[in-house]
Structure 1
Amino acid sequence: MTLPLLTLYRRLARWPGGRWLFTRAVCFKAPYFASIRPCITVLETGRCEGTLADRRAVRNHLGTVHAIALCNLAELTAGLMTDASLPAGMRWIPKGMQVHYLAKARGRLHAVAVPERPIASGTVGYELPVRVGISDAAGTEVFVAHIAMWVSPRHGSG
């Protein structure tokens, strides 16, 4: 049996470089996220925070962080928060995402993912809305995503 995500994060985060190592492990499991080189800085029930460095590989032709890099960071933090928050026996998958670009994304960016309503267990599936706000170093929110997560029991219908 694999170690639950939140337990793994808590074990690694205590050590120097532990958050970086945790993020690398997540990116090994889901390699596409490695393209943005994120770093998960907070993971707890109902909250995930992560950062993204502004570097040439994630910029668009305007010299700002590319929209899809922001979407990747949003999906990563929303997924980790959901996974770390679900009751035993439940699973999730992203169902859809609405995004709003509010300002030019430059510099080190900080994402915060939180559920928009309480997470529940049950015998049927349901849609869980997750809000992810991404801010620049000055604290200006430059991007907001609303991600619909489909949450359902691991075994059975739903």
Structure 2
Amino acid sequence: MSASVLSLYRRITRWPAGHWIFSRLVCFRAPYFATIAPRFVALAPGRCEVRIRDRRRVHNHIGTVHAIALCNLAELSAGVMTDATIPADMRWIPKGMSVEYLKKAVGTMHGIATPELATPVPDGGHEWPVRVEVVDSADETVFRARVLMWVSPRKRD
């Protein structure tokens, strides 16, 4: 997205259907995430919440939410949270992700991304871990991810 993702979220979500519009804009910028039809629920520095509905297109062969759909939810929420949290003169890219599948993922999934460390400062590139917890409609954790972001100063032209 951009350094202004948080201000865009705050502005658009005041409108009727604003969360839906913001979610579509994110998917327009990063089209692959449209495969899970995400809905942003909350965004603030240090926190991003995204839901995906239980639909056939995110199911696996046993009728539960597919592992990769959960990974997409984790990467999306971690990335947008990072974008909304780091200073505007920094950039980020996912460097790696470790995941835990804790139970069958059935129903609507709610991903919550939070940083494990304080907000990075633009002092050179370094790793910044983000924790993502995905809960089902009963508020039981079904999946956990640790997304390792590489954050670094933006290159000046």
Partner of 1:123: 123
- The answer for unaligned runs of 5 or more in structure 1 is none
Partner of 1:133: 133
Please list, as runs of the form range in 1=range in 2, the aligned pairs for 1:5-154 lying within 5 A after superposition: 5-154=5-154
Provide Cα deviations, 1:25-53, integer angstroms capped at 9, x if missing partner.
Answer: 00000000001101011010000000000
Would you identify which runs of 4 or more consecutive aligned residues in structure 1 move more than 2 Å?
Answer: none
Q: Provide the C-alpha distance between the structure 2 equivalents of 1:56 and 1:66, rounded to a whole number of angstroms.
A: 10
> How far apart are residue 122 of structure 1 and its match?
2.3
Whichever residue aligns with residue 8 of structure 2, its letter is L
Please give the root-mean-square deviation of Cα atoms over the aligned residues, in Å: 1.1
Equivalent residue of 2:63, what SS? coil
Equivalent residue of 2:99, what SS? strand
Q: Provide the C-alpha distance between the structure 1 equivalents of 2:78 and 2:96, rounded to a whole number of angstroms.
A: 12
Q: Provide the C-alpha distance between the structure 2 equivalents of 1:120 and 1:92, rounded to a whole number of angstroms.
A: 11
Q: Provide the C-alpha distance between the structure 2 equivalents of 1:30 and 1:50, rounded to a whole number of angstroms.
A: 15
TM-score normalised according to structure 1 size: 0.95
Of 94-103 and 118-127, the range deviating more from structure 2:
118-127
Whichever residue aligns with residue 55 of structure 2, its letter is R
Q: Provide the C-alpha distance between the structure 2 equivalents of 1:94 and 1:38, rounded to a whole number of angstroms.
A: 19
TM-score normalised according to structure 2 size: 0.96
Question: Matched residue pairs, number?
Answer: 155
